[in-house]
Chain A
Amino acid sequence: MATDTHTAIETVWRMESARVIAGVAGLVRDVGIAEELAQDALVAALEQWPESGVPRNPGAWLMTTAKRRAIDLIRRNERYERKLAELGRDLQLDADDEGVLVDHIEDDLLRLVFVSCHPVLSTEARVALTLRLLGGLTTDEIARAFLVSESTVAQRIVRAKRTLADANVPFEVPEEAQRAERLASVLEVIYLIFNEGYSATAGDDWVRPGLCDEALRLGRILAELMPKEPEVHGLVALMEIQASRLRARIGPTGEPVLLLDQDRRRWDQLLIRRGLAALDRAQALGGSAGPYALQAAIAACHARARTAEETDWTLIAALYEALARLAPSPVVELNRAVALGMAYGPAAGLDLVDALDEEQSLAGYHLLPSVRGDLLVKLGRLAEARTEFERAASLTRNARERKLLLDRAAACGP
């Protein structure tokens, strides 16, 4: 029974921690302190619930307990006296009144999102803090997801909280002038989490669906918090459509299966429809030309094709061109080369890839030789293709992907 209660507490914590932390941070204006107070409430639950049973509304219980502790802390701490006066109205709240407690929670949650992805933090710190504060993941879970040690993650989080406090980062949604840039940082963090799940950069597994689910959930929550931001819907669309292929991306023995070789019957049509609907929302809000909406539109081209042969490569090449103009990047160019190769023949793609060979930033990127090898195979230049696949294999850090590339090299003959 005690174990059941513990499982129930863990579950409730995972579901509620972001809101509790956000609500408390709304009082104390410091996410580090807010998290500690929320943790205190969790500890109280672990002590009391096995005895008293899980309360009728466990989320409100955690929130009330954490907020009471926040109020105690503020009262004890003289430095907060001025704030106490400012917050007088809030502190009068009847903590049993759930209506009052959840009143501003959406605003606080959005503030928490922006603070966790604040540019004063390194990308790694943003990712760790987001998963911890918004995803409710434990340090250990984050460590396992990113194949680093638990102490590394713990340190990252501690340092991130200190950086936020030292920099006096306000617990606020950025002002209009910085909104677009700051939102881009939030979307980047969520998409990074998704991508680490979708094609792991290192390790033995090609995909880690748990991280994809987590990123999707964060994206959907953000879409509810910021329903008028087209790029949020664009990112959700992109993730829903990509996630629809998760099951088809791994073969029976865990090996990666590339998009055009996938068994499209295994694509999740519900997620595709949700993705297309999110893309419609992004476009209806005037966001067709945003970077995530463009990538989602590309993903949608694949999703709509019943077979690989039906893919509208001409449209995909045009969308990549638009994306390249908007956010020039060698990786986008590489993808455009693939699309050009499919739409207008391998020679067209190879021209662009050869131009990219000069690109320093792609020097260690395994997909460059991989794409080049693919185009060379289609042109019948097998010996050159083999060299490219071998080079690609030597560059990837993912074991599954390396095996796939070596197999392709071997298939080119001696």
Chain B
Amino acid sequence: MLLLKGEPPEDALPSAELIDAMLGYYEQLVKAGVLLAGEGLLSSSTGARVVYSGGKRTVIDGPFTEAKELVAGYYLIQVKSREEAIEWAKRCPLEAAVDQFGDSGVSEAVIEIRQVAEMDEIGATDEQQETEARLREQTPGL
């Protein structure tokens, strides 16, 4: 999975150029036959967090500050190797995002490469795996 990280300035919408750049990347992934799924996210100002700490739950509304750690979207790709995943990540037009939002103090965007875990790889019990499979059937898009 390629996790896009970064946070556009509050209430800023992506420019036509940025959308074009991201669509171009999306198209490359599809045409290469490697893209399985993907989504983009709105800025964290529309989000919220539930934090469990000190024995209680607190709801914190966005936006959040640690911009480069915030997930902005993901691509789920199927490739032969870690190197190939990295090569695809390198091609993501992060510069288009930084270009657009540079004036607002955005100087960095990150794409993080992570491998999807299978239930049997993380030591889930049979019963847990059964539950997971049943739930998955009911969640289109996952």
Contact = CB atoms under 8 A, between A and B. Distances in A.
Nearest to A56: B90
B33 A265 contact: no
Contact of B36 (A224, A264, A274): A274
Nearest to A269: B136
Interface stretch (A11-19, A45-53, A200-208): A11-19
Given A269-B133, A269-B142, A8 B83 contact: yes
A241 interface: no
B130 interface: yes
Contacts of A58: 87
A218 interface: yes
Interface residues of B, number: 28
Interface in A260-297: 264-267, 269-271, 273-274
A269 B84 contact: no
B87 A12 contact: yes
B58 interface: no
Could you say which of A15, A106, A217, A221 has the most chain B C-beta atoms within 10 Å of its C-beta?
A: A15
Nearest to B128: A265
Contact of B129 (A10, A15, A265, A269): A265
Given A15-B87, A266-B120, A217 B33 contact: yes
A220 B141 CA distance: 18
B33 A218 contact: yes
Interface in B40-79: 76, 78
Contacts of A210: 80
Contacts of A219: 33
B81 interface: yes
Contacts of B30: 220, 224
Nearest to B76: A270
Interface of A: 7-8, 10-12, 14-15, 58, 106, 210, 213, 216-221, 224, 247, 264-267, 269-271, 273-274, 306
Closest 5 CB pairs of A and B: A220-B33, A265-B133, A217-B33, A269-B136, A11-B83
Given A221-B32, A274-B36, 20 more contacts: A8-B87, A11-B86, A12-B87, A15-B84, A58-B87, A213-B80, A216-B33, A217-B32, A217-B33, A217-B78, A221-B31, A224-B33, A265-B130, A265-B132, A265-B133, A269-B136, A269-B142, A270-B37, A270-B76, A270-B142
Interface of B: 30-34, 36-37, 76, 78, 80-81, 83-84, 86-87, 118-120, 129-130, 132-134, 136-137, 140-142
